[in-house]
C-alpha cells in the first residue's frame, strides 16, 4: 500500500487509519517500494493506495512514480494497480495511466449500490466508482479492468446481480467476491456468513455474464491469487471467450 499509512477517507469496514490532512507522501517511497518488490522475487504485484483527497492530483503523480520505479527495477514483475476513485478527477487518472507499465487497473466498488452510502465513506459513490472503471477502459483499453465486492454486509441476491451487471456494463473483466469480516466491534457489522455454495452460484452467474475470470469464496480478498486470475483472464480472452 502506497501513499502513506493514513487515508483521507473513513470507510466503515476498513481498519486503515484516517486523517483529512495526512503527511505528504514520502518522496523515497517509489525507490523503497521498487527495492522491496525486487527483493521479494515475485512475478506479480498488486500495488494499492490510500485515498489522497488532500492533494490536487489525488496522489496520481506519486502513484505513477511508484509504478515507474518498480518497473525500472524489476521489469519482469507484472503490475496490478488497485486505485482509489481519484475523487472523480479524470485528468489526474489520465495522467497516471498514460503509458503506465501495468497489466491490470483495479478499483473496488466494495459493496452493492444500495449499501454504498452506509458502508463506504460518504465521499464515495457506486456510480463514481463505475465511472472510474469505465474511464480507465477508455484511456487504456489494453489493460484488464478489475473490481471486488465484499458480501455478508446485508446485500440481497438481486443487489449483487445488479452490481455485477453494472460492472460488466462498463467493461470490467475480472471480479472477486469475498466474505466481509469486521476488523473490530466498532466497524460495520457482519450481517451474514455466506456459504461456499452461494459463492459458487454467484461465480457461475458472473461467468455467464461475461467476466473473464472470477475468484469467489469466503477467504477471497481483492488481491487473491491476482497473478493467476490475470493469467486465466488472458487465456480466456485470447480464446475468444469474451
Ligand atoms: S478509501 Fe480505501 S483505504 Fe481509505 S478508508 Fe476506504 S477502504 Fe480504507
pLDDT band at residue 235 under the 50/70/90 scheme: very high
Per the CB < 8 A criterion, the answer to whether 73 and 40 are in contact is no
In a domain, 212, yes or no: yes
Tell me how far the alpha carbon of residue 51 lies from the centroid of ligand 1, in angstroms: 7
In a domain, 191, yes or no: yes
In a domain, 40, yes or no: yes
Nearest CA to ligand 1 atom 6: 11
pLDDT band at residue 210 under the 50/70/90 scheme: very high
Nearest CA to ligand 1 atom 8: 14
Percent residues over pLDDT 90 in the chain: 99
Any residues with CB less than 8 A from the CB of 102 and at least 6 apart, and which? 67, 79, 80, 81, 140, 143
Per the CB < 8 A criterion, the answer to whether 69 and 33 are in contact is yes
Rounded Cα–Cα distance for residues 104 and 46 (Å): 9
Tell me how far the alpha carbon of residue 6 lies from the centroid of ligand 1, in angstroms: 9
In a domain, 177, yes or no: yes
pLDDT at 133 over 80: yes
In a domain, 142, yes or no: yes
At 143-194, the pLDDT tens digits run 999 999 999 999 999 999 999 999 999 999 999 999 999 999 999 999 999 9
At residue 242, the pLDDT reads 65
Phi, psi of 31 (to 5 degrees): -70, -40
Query: Which of 14, 17, 53, 54 gets mutated to test ligand 1 (max ligand atoms within 8 A of its CB)?
Result: 14
Q: What is the mean pLDDT of residues 217-228?
A: 97
Grid cell listed for 166: 453494472
Atom of ligand 1 nearest to the CA of 121: 6
In a domain, 1, yes or no: no
In a domain, 222, yes or no: yes
pLDDT band at residue 241 under the 50/70/90 scheme: confident
Question: Which residues line the pocket of ligand 1, CB cutoff 6 A?
Answer: 7, 9-11, 14, 16, 18, 50-51, 121
pLDDT at 38 over 90: yes
The three state secondary structure string of the chain is CECCCEECCCCCCCCCEECCCCCCCCCCHHHHHHHHHHHHCCCEEEEEECCCCCCCCCCHHHHHHHHHHHHHHCCCCEEEEECCCHHHCHHHHHHHHCCCCCCEEECCCECCHHHHHHHCCCCCCHHHHHHHHHHHHHHCCCCEEEEEEEECCCCCHHHHHHHHHHHHHCCCCEEEEEECCCCCCCCCCCCCCCCHHHHHHHHHHHHHHCCCEEEEECCCCCCCCHHHHHHHHHHHHHCCCC
In a domain, 63, yes or no: yes
Tell me how far the alpha carbon of residue 124 lies from the centroid of ligand 1, in angstroms: 10
pLDDT at 41 over 80: yes
Domain containing residue 154: 6-238
Nearest CA to ligand 1 atom 3: 50
At 87-121, the pLDDT tens digits run 999 999 999 999 999 999 999 999 999 999 999 99
Grid cell listed for 90: 479524470
Q: How many domains does the chain have?
A: 1
At residue 22, the pLDDT reads 95
Closest CA to 202 of 176, 233, 237: 176
Question: What CATH number corresponds to the domain at position 44?
Answer: 3.20.20.70
Residue reference for cell 503490475: 79
At residue 132, the pLDDT reads 98
Amino acid at each position: 500500500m502506497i501513499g502513506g499509512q493514513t487515508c483521507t477517507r473513513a470507510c466503515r469496514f476498513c481498519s486503515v487509519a484516517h486523517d483529512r490532512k495526512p503527511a505528504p507522501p514520502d518522496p523515497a517511497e517509489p525507490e523503497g517500494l521498487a527495492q522491496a518488490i525486487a527483493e521479494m522475487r515475485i512475478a506479480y504485484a498488486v500495488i494499492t493506495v490510500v485515498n489522497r483527497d488532500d492533494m490536487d492530483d489525488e496522489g496520481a503523480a506519486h502513484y505513477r512514480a511508484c509504478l515507474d520505479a518498480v518497473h525500472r527495477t524489476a521489469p519482469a514483475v507484472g503490475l496490478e494497480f488497485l486505485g482509489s476513485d481519484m475523487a472523480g478527477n479524470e485528468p489526474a487518472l489520465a495522467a497516471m495511466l498514460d503509458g503506465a507499465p501495468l497489466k491490470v487497473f483495479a478499483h473496488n466498488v466494495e459493496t452493492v449500490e444500495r449499501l454504498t452510502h452506509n458502508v463506504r465513506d460518504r465521499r464515495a459513490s457506486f456510480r463514481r466508482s463505475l465511472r472510474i472503471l469505465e474511464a480507465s477502459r477508455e484511456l487504456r483499453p489494453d489493460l484488464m479492468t478489475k473490481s471486488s465486492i465484499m458480501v455478508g454486509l446485508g446485500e440481497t441476491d438481486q443487489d449483487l446481480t445488479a452490481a455485477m451487471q453494472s460492472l460488466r456494463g462498463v467493461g470490467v473483466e475480472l471480479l472477486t467476491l469475498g466474505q466481509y469480516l469486521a476488523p473490530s466491534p466498532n466497524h460495520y457489522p457482519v450481517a451474514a456468513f455466506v456459504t461456499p455454495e452461494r459463492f459458487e452460484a454467484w461465480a457461475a452467474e458472473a461467468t455467464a455474464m461475461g467476466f473473464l475470470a472470477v475468484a469467489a469464496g469466503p477467504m477471497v480478498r481483492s488481491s487473491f491469487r491476482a497473478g493467476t486470475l490475470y493469467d486465466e483472464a488472458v487465456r480466456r480472452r485470447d480464446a475468444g471467450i469474451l
